[in-house]
Amino acid sequence: MSSSLSAPSAPGPRGTWLLGMLPEFRADPIQLFSDLTRDYGDTVSFSLFNRPCMLLRHPDQIAWVLKKNHRNYGKNTRGIQKLKAILGDGLLTADGPHWRRQRRIAAPTFRPKRIGGFAATMLRAGEDMLCRWEELASREQAFDVNEEMMTVTLRIAGETLFSADVTGEARELSQALSTAMQITNKRVGRALDMPSWWPSAENRAFRAAMATLDEIVRGMIEERRRTGEAEADLLAMLIHARDEETGEGMSDAQLRDEVMTLLLAGHETTANALTWTWHLLAANPDCRAQLEAELDRVLDGRSPTLEDYSALEYTGRVIDEAMRLLPPGWLFGRAPLADDVIDGFAVPAGTLVMISSYITHRHSEFWPDPERFDPDRFLPAACEERHPFAYFPFSGGPRGCIGRGFALLELRLLVAQIAQRFRLEAVPGHPVELEQLVTLRPLHGLQMTAYAR
Ligand code: HEM
């Protein structure tokens, strides 16, 4: 791969005049991407309302964009621009020196030693949730597992990162976030967007959702500034951080953007990974039986702790496989700063380069019988043989997920804690459809019934 532009364009469909593939993208992006890679292969070019786009599928290409040539691939895409209306200029959406500085400030919170200290808080939150489930299980009453997972992961993110109790606001916060993300998604998929000051019902709903989110986040920051409590958490690090060159701290607006980003990125994705794990386990009872056998053997009836992490190997493989088939961060984009060539095809500066873990995680060269749920794909020997970028639920390279270790710990502890006590069964007839927002969520929630084991 080099940077000469005598290269030809990648193959792809012409689509509708002017709109290109926008109608198909808006209707069902996963279907569109599956069709495109089936028809054209690993490198596809198309347009979305006159905007040139490329979809890359091969792990070599993913490694090139995210790692080897990452400096050429910025985040200034239309999707990120729209997401900024929620997250501002926080770690996920920022670029360049500002991003580097913010990442340096946040990094110590996510070191393995520090994360291990969060295990007890994670398990306490899980325990409180399971106490409530006892009652539901005794009445065999179905409930929305996605909502439960959102609440528990939100509580964990609030307590571990910001020493804040957000359980009281959990429902309000989740609903506001859902509304804001649904509207953001519509905005990303539109050819032309109406101005944000226009008094449409959508703009009003977005402003109301943002007012709720802002109030909760501002409340957390103000409370800390007011009490001056010296918690040794991420919020304290953000408040006390000083720029190495100017010695200045973060403005309130910057602080708000970072807290919003970490609170949202820190719970939403993890909640969806857990939700999909329960869905896939209920659909694959043989794997669930193996998981339960491991929990009975390793834990022998006692509650899991941090020390059990490594012994819960099959539990880890179940989570890895669930995030292969249904990766919460399923699509992200990059904007090449300078012209590039990938696999002999031109990638002009400004093209929207799309990478979808959902699609690459089904590449049959790396994943035989890709739709089958098989946790043993993640046995250590198989992982060693596989291309490192055939699987990237947390992205990769310098812009990879800062919360990967945090999420993997939370997922393994909660899956073990929950599956040890309850077996979750799907409610017959409840539709399970993918809502393809910024993250992959169940469109109608996930109704399940818990049975005590
Ligand atoms: C299963 C759980 C999670 C998944 C699947 C996930 C996935 C991802 C992905 C795919 C990206 C890259 C996005 C892009 O390049 O546009 C990312 C970035 C990020 N994630 Fe996560 N994430 C998870 C959990 C977390 C947690 C627990 C936190 C924080 C506590 C977190 C914070 C972030 C942040 C701040 C970024 C931006 C990093 C940067 O650009 O420097 N994530 N995550």
What confidence tens digit (pLDDT) does each residue in 91-131 have? 999 999 889 988 888 888 888 888 999 999 999 999 999 99
Residue of 68 and 174 predicted with greater confidence = 68
Domain membership flag for residue 46: yes
The answer to whether the CB of 445 is under 6 A from ligand 1 is: no
Residue 195 lies in a domain: yes
Angstrom CA distances, 43 to 52, 377, 396, stand at 13, 26, 20
Please give the residue that has the higher pLDDT: either 4 or 192.
Answer: 192
Separation of CA 402 and ligand 1 centre (Å):
6
Flag whether pLDDT at 201 surpasses 50. yes
Coil, strand, or helix at residue 20?
A: strand
Question: Can you tell me which atom of ligand 1 is nearest the CA of 333?
Answer: 16
Ligand 1 atom showing the smallest separation from residue 392 Cα: 10
Give domain status of residue 230, yes or no: yes
Distance between Cα 226 and ligand 1 center (Å): 30
92 lines ligand 1 (CB under 6 A): yes
Distance 409 CA to ligand 1 centre (A): 14
Whole-number Å distance, alpha carbon 83 to ligand 1 midpoint, is 14
Sign of CA pseudo-dihedral 182, 218, 250, 402? negative
Residue of higher predicted confidence among 1 and 43: 43
Helices (H) and strands (E) in the chain, counts: 18, 12
Q: Is the CB of 450 under 6 A from ligand 1?
A: no
- Residue at 12 is within a domain: no
**pLDDT at 50 exceeding the cut of 90:** no
Q: From the CA of 91, how far away is ligand 1's center (Å)?
A: 9
Q: What is the mean pLDDT of residues 289-309?
A: 97
pLDDT higher than threshold 80 for residue 245: no
Measured from the Cα of 161, ligand 1's closest atom is 30
pLDDT cut 70: percent of the chain above it: 98
**Ligand 1 atom having least distance to the Cα of 411:** 1
CA of residue 399 to ligand 1 center, whole Å: 9
Lowest average pLDDT, out of 245-249, 325-329, 443-447, goes to: 245-249
What pLDDT score does 239 carry? 85
Atom 21 (ligand 1) nearest CA: 401
Nearest CA-CA partner of 261 in 161, 335, 160: 161
Give the confidence band of 5 by pLDDT, cuts at 50, 70, 90.
low
pLDDT at site 408 = 98
* CB 59 less than 6 A from any atom of ligand 1: no
72 has a pLDDT exceeding 90: yes
Of 334, 345, 358, 333, residue with least CA distance to 436: 358
pLDDT greater than 50 at residue 2: no
Q: What is the pLDDT of residues 178-189, one digit of tens each?
A: 899 888 888 877
355 strand-pairing partners? 56, 332
CATH number of the domain where residue 189 is located: 1.10.630.10
Residue 2 lies in a domain: no
Is position 13 within any domain?
Answer: no
Q: Are 403 and 114 contacting, i.e. CB atoms less than 8 angstroms apart? A: no
Tell me what the pLDDT averaged over the chain comes to.
92
What whole-number distance in Å separates Cα of residue 63 and Cα of residue 309? 29
Query: Which residue has the CA at smallest separation from atom 6 of ligand 1?
Result: 394
For residue 391, is pLDDT > 60?
Answer: yes
User: Is the C-beta atom of 401 inside 6 A of ligand 1?
Assistant: yes
For residue 101, the one-letter residue type is R
Give yes or no for residue 394 CB within 6 A of ligand 1. yes
* Residues 6+ positions from 226 with CB-CB distance below 8 Å: none
Domain count, the chain: 1
pTM of the model: 0.94
Which among 80, 76, 19, 21 has a CA at the least distance from the CA of 438?
80
Q: How far apart are the CA of 263 and the centre of ligand 1, in A? A: 11
Does the beta carbon of 378 lie inside 6 Å of ligand 1? no
Higher pLDDT, 150 or 191: 150
- Ligand 1 in reach of 91 Cβ (< 6 A): yes
Residue 231, pLDDT above cutoff 80: no
Q: Is residue 61 part of a domain?
A: yes
Q: How far is the centre of ligand 1, averaged over its atoms, from the C-alpha of 328 (Å)? A: 10
Domain membership flag for residue 44: yes
Residue 110 domain boundaries? 22-452
pLDDT score recorded for residue 168: 81
What is the average pLDDT across 31-56?
Answer: 96
Query: Which atom of ligand 1 lies at the shortest distance from residue 273's CA?
Result: 1
Top pLDDT among 421 and 439 is at 421
Per-residue model confidence (pLDDT) at position 4: 52
**pLDDT over 70 (residue 396):** yes
